[in-house]
Amino acid sequence: MKPVLVVGASVGGSIAACTLRELGVEVVLLERDLNYVKPCGGAVPPLVFSEYHLPESLIDRKVTLAVVASPRQAAEFPVASSHPSDRDFIAMVRREKFDRFIRQRAVQLGATLIEGKFTGMDVTADGVRVTWEDKQRRIQTLDVCAVIGADGAYSAVAKALGLERLPMAVAYQERIRLPEQVMHYWEQRAALYLGDDVSPDLYAWVFPKYDHVAAGIGAGAGKTQQARALLNNLKQRLKDQLGQGESILFEAHHLPMHPRKHLSYERVALIGDAAGLVQATSGEGIYWAMKSGEMAARAIAANLDTPSAAHLRREYDAAWWKRYRPTYTFLQILQRISYNGDIQREIFAAMCQDRDVQRLTFDSYLAKHIEPAPWSIQMKITVHWLATAAREVAAHRFGLPRRPTPQPSRL
Ligand SMILES: Cc1cc2nc3c(=O)[nH]c(=O)nc-3n(C[C@H](O)[C@H](O)[C@H](O)COP(=O)(O)OP(=O)(O)OC[C@H]3O[C@@H](n4cnc5c(N)ncnc54)[C@H](O)[C@@H]3O)c2cc1C
């Protein structure tokens, strides 16, 4: 049996390779640059560690306090689900450490890791002939039975299938080393900032790493040129909390903002960013790349004789959307109604002060599953939302006074 080729040895590709090896399938894992570090905030739900048996030594920080701040108000609340446990935290990882560990595990399980760049493929009835470029820029060929495209937002595998680029947002991030007492403030906090000054249509963030913070901004399609100015505005807004820091790295990358219509094609499956599986509201993509890598690998392993588009769409695409469509749909709607405009952002920040909203947010984030809340809670949240919206619209349109609003805790 020919091997399966996984293109891209980041989080999604490496989990796909591990899964295939665990199922006894031969795997070649092709990575363009083994020293590459994916620009990333590195926030993952703790579920990742139990589901994929990863050691917690990969965690830099356990965030237990969340901050959501609009220009006028801030909600600061504990990371707590409806059933509090010691798993109620957001894990902060550094991709340079996290990705390397999973890739190494794939190799230990028997995957053949090659450093080289995928350049094209020819899909035939009995396999796929892949061309790739080695480090000496020589073109090589490889015959495989199927391909998993785990090669990120600019996927060359998707391009070889004739697919168009997905709509992209840009994410631009600076890593900042802070004096000890300022770092202490961030150790357990992750903060999201809303407002035209820091992000016209998404949000900005500060996430703690082991000895520094990552401060970044996300901005929708066509706003790449504004990224640096938006990040400067964020640092200006947070001059007390970030002002005395030493900049150690700038990093930027695009993020797909919409899933592809199909995840599977004849003998090919796309996963993670290559498939557009990032969550629109949060830009969260690590868990989704890993999970889609696992599910695509299982579907291919079950259909090694004929990994046809029809088989893969039934066992990967359909299974994926059956499980996760409500999550993607809900978060897409949330992004549209929460980030685009001053009034919407103020309503969003105000609603983040609602205990039920906080609990439901962490229930779904930590379990990666959306459960409809009981009717009574839904009614309570709806009434609260309507009252907040009416108050914000009245304040904005007619200049009516607002209630005093909470401010974030200071250093
Ligand atoms: C600034 C920023 C902050 C983010 N913060 C978070 C966060 O806090 N939490 C979160 O969950 N998500 C975050 N994301 C999203 C997350 O980084 C991605 O969703 C995730 O990395 C996708 O994983 P992936 O395996 O699909 O692809 P990627 O991680 O993009 O990896 C693709 C791999 O393919 C390789 N490759 C590309 N082309 C080729 C080729 N032709 N041949 C061979 N190899 C190739 C690349 O070198 C790379 O190793 C952030 C993204 C950005 C840009």
In sequence order, the β-bridge partners of residue 63 are 90
Cα of 10 vs centre of ligand 1, distance in Å, is 7
How far is residue 42 CA from its own chain's centroid?
8
Q: Is the pLDDT of residue 411 over 70?
A: no
Count CB neighbours of 106 within 10 A: 24
Cα–Cα distance, 271 to 216 (Å, whole number): 25
Collapsing DSSP states into helix, strand and coil, what is residue 196? coil
Cα–Cα distance, 79 to 189 (Å, whole number): 10
Cα of 313 vs centre of ligand 1, distance in Å, is 23
Site to probe by mutation for ligand 1, drawn from 30, 36, 40 as the one with most ligand atoms within 8 Å of Cβ, is 40
Cα–Cα distance, 322 to 329 (Å, whole number): 12
Cα–Cα distance, 99 to 48 (Å, whole number): 13
To 5 degrees, how large is the angle CA 133–CA 135–CA 136?
A: 90
Band of pLDDT at residue 222, cut at 50, 70 and 90: confident
Ligand 1 atom, smallest distance to 290 CA: 25
CA dihedral 325, 326, 328, 334 (to 10 degrees): 160
Ligand 1 atom, smallest distance to 9 CA: 49
Ligand 1 atom, smallest distance to 153 CA: 30
Pairing of strands 27-31, 213-219: unpaired
Q: What is the pLDDT of residue 321?
A: 97
Cα–Cα distance, 51 to 165 (Å, whole number): 31
Among protein residues, the one whose CA lies closest to atom 47 of ligand 1: 32
How far is residue 170 CA from its own chain's centroid?
13
Among protein residues, the one whose CA lies closest to atom 28 of ligand 1: 152
CA gyration radius, the chain = 22
Longest dimension (CA), the chain: 72
Q: Is the pLDDT of residue 80 over 80?
A: yes
Q: Tell me, which fold does domain 4-42+94-166+258-331 have in CATH?
A: FAD/NAD(P)-binding domain (3.50.50)
Band of pLDDT at residue 372, cut at 50, 70 and 90: confident
Cα of 88 vs centre of ligand 1, distance in Å, is 25
- For the segment 333-359, the average pLDDT, to the nearest whole number, is 87
Q: Is the pLDDT of residue 404 over 60?
A: no
Cα of 152 vs centre of ligand 1, distance in Å, is 5
Pairing of strands 213-219, 168-177: antiparallel
Sheet of 74-78, strand order: 74-78, 65-69, 189-195, 199-208, 213-219, 168-177, 246-256
Q: What is the pLDDT of residue 212?
A: 94
Cα–Cα distance, 368 to 288 (Å, whole number): 9
Residues counted in the chain: 411
Site to probe by mutation for ligand 1, drawn from 228, 284, 286 as the one with most ligand atoms within 8 Å of Cβ, is 286
Q: 290-340 pLDDT, tens per residue? A: 999 999 999 999 999 999 999 999 999 999 999 999 999 888 888 777 777
Among protein residues, the one whose CA lies closest to atom 21 of ligand 1: 286
Cα–Cα distance, 23 to 224 (Å, whole number): 42
Cα of 143 vs centre of ligand 1, distance in Å, is 26
The candidate with the shortest Cα–Cα distance to 81, out of 369, 320, 301, 329, is 369
Ligand 1 atom, smallest distance to 38 CA: 29
Q: What is the pLDDT of residue 407?
A: 58
Ligand 1 atom, smallest distance to 119 CA: 41
User: Residue 79 in contact with residue 192, Cβ under 8 Å?
Assistant: no
Which position has the token pair 């356990």? Answer: 62
Cα–Cα distance, 340 to 194 (Å, whole number): 10
Which range, of 161-175, 314-328, 358-372, averages the lowest pLDDT? 358-372
Among protein residues, the one whose CA lies closest to atom 38 of ligand 1: 151
Count CB neighbours of 409 within 10 A: 11
- For the segment 329-353, the average pLDDT, to the nearest whole number, is 85
Cα of 252 vs centre of ligand 1, distance in Å, is 11
DSSP 243-305: TT-EEEEEEEEEEE-S--S-SEETTEEE-GGGGT---TTT---HHHHHHHHHHHHHHHHHTSS
Which position has the token pair 């403030």? Answer: 185
In sequence order, the β-bridge partners of residue 5 are 28, 147
Band of pLDDT at residue 371, cut at 50, 70 and 90: confident
Band of pLDDT at residue 410, cut at 50, 70 and 90: low
Cα of 17 vs centre of ligand 1, distance in Å, is 16
- Half-sphere exposure (CA, 13 Å, Cβ side) for 147? 33
Q: Which protein residues are within 6 Å of ligand 1, measured from CB?
A: 7-13, 30-33, 36, 38-44, 117-118, 150-152, 156, 171, 173, 216, 253, 255, 272-274, 278, 283-287, 289
DSSP 8-state assignment for residue 83: S
